[in-house]
Structures are given as C-alpha cells and as structure tokens.
Amino acid sequence: MLFALVLSLAAPPPELLVFAGAASKPVLDEAAVAIQQDLGIRLTFSYGGSGTVLSQMELAQKGDIYIPGSHDWLERAIERKLVDAKTRVDFVFLRPALLVLKGNPKNVRGLADLAREDIRAAVADPRTVCVGEYGEKVLQRAGQWERIMPRLGRAHSCEAVANLLGTKTVDAVLGWDVFVRWFPGEVEEVPLPPELTPEQASVAGAVSVFSKHPRKALEVLRWLAGPKGKAIWRKYGYRTEP
C-alpha cells in the first residue's frame, strides 16, 4: 500500500499532444505554462495549417486536442469523426479583412487594387488554411476571384501570411482583423463592404477521438475558454465575445 502511494506521488504529470493552427501558437505556448501550474497537465504541440495538422493527427492516429484556426476545420473534423463533437469549446472570434502596411503607402482602397502591377499581395493556401479559405470567399463574393487569385502569393499558415505583411515582404494580405493587433503601429485594415464579410469565424477546439486522457483534454479546453484563458487570448488581440 505504501509502495503504491509512493509510486503514485512520483508519477509524472500527464502529457497531452495538441494539434493546432499556427496562428494560435503565441497564445497556446503562454497558456501551456499556466495550465501546467493550475492543472498539472503538460502540453506539447504540433503547429501548422489547420488542414495539415488535422491530416497529421488522422495519419498518426494519436493526439488529444485539435484546435484549428477557425471553426470550419473543426466541423470537418467532427464530420470525419476525428474529434468528439460533445467536447467542442469556442474561444474567440475573427473576421476576414484586407490588411496593408501602416499609412497605406500603396494607396490600396479595395480588393480591385490587388490586381495592380505595383502591388505585392498574398493569401494563405485556401486548401489547408482557414483564413485562406475565407479570403477566397471574399474574392468570390466580390466577383474578383478569377482576376486576383492567380496574382496572390501563397502562405502555408495563418501565421505565415501575417508575417509576410509584418516583415513588409508584401504590401497587402487577405487575413483576419486580429492581424492589426499582432503588429501594432505597423499594419492597418482597409474597410470592405459588409456584404463581402457577412460571417465571422471562431477559434474552437475539441477532444480528439484518439486521446488516452479525454477528461484531462476537456479540462484544458475549458481552461482556455475560462477567465485565465480568455485573458491570454485578449492579450494577443483576440475578441472573446462575438
């Protein structure tokens, strides 16, 4: 009995593997430290495009939590029976946006300007990255998809397309409104007609069907959606209310 108790006390904290969209990396890396302190749960991460990390999780048949860059990919994971729909938790809310460098030096006034020869613009890959898919929808609604989409550079993740603008590699990107707060004083938003962005996205997560610690995984999701978790999301510019 005493021997069993000693073993129990010496057992390392459970370690959970999280497959997550790369845009959430700063939030999740910071939250992981507090989660280990509060819940005694250690998190490790595999970051990338939402579709890419979902495929990784499916192929590896392992992982405890899936947190894509938007709810669309989570719904696909639910349809493919890769996560438990009952464990879905929404954390924050996003809106697709046209973003340029501060002061708008190239005088980008709308989507049509992305077709100009002097404009370098980019979007995330719509096949595997949620913000790229939203950008594609915006162009389709505007009737500009065929004209503009072939001209746009591609990025492999949400974080990568934001960094293209933040490092002044491009003049404009189709991304999320939160990018303005990721690069304060360096990036601004060019307003788009409301009919081009009628929906908002949410960053949400759920427990993987491959998890060996589903209760612990759900604890983590609820912590991220709780007061301490929301404070970290807000720190990085996310809206925690719709």
Q: Which residues are annotated as a binding site?
A: 50
Are 18 and 65 spatial neighbours (Cβ–Cβ below 8 Å)? yes
Asked if residues 88 and 78 have their Cβ atoms less than 8 Å apart, the reply is: yes
Q: Within 10 A of 191 (CB to CB), how many other CB atoms are there?
A: 10
The CA-atom distances, in angstroms, between 222 and each of 2, 35, 88, 91 are 34, 11, 10, 9
Tell me which residue of 205, 212, 229 sits closest to 16, measured CA to CA.
212
Place of tokens 């989660």: 35
CA–CA gap between residue 54 and residue 73 (Å, rounded): 8
Which residues line the annotated binding site for molybdate? 50
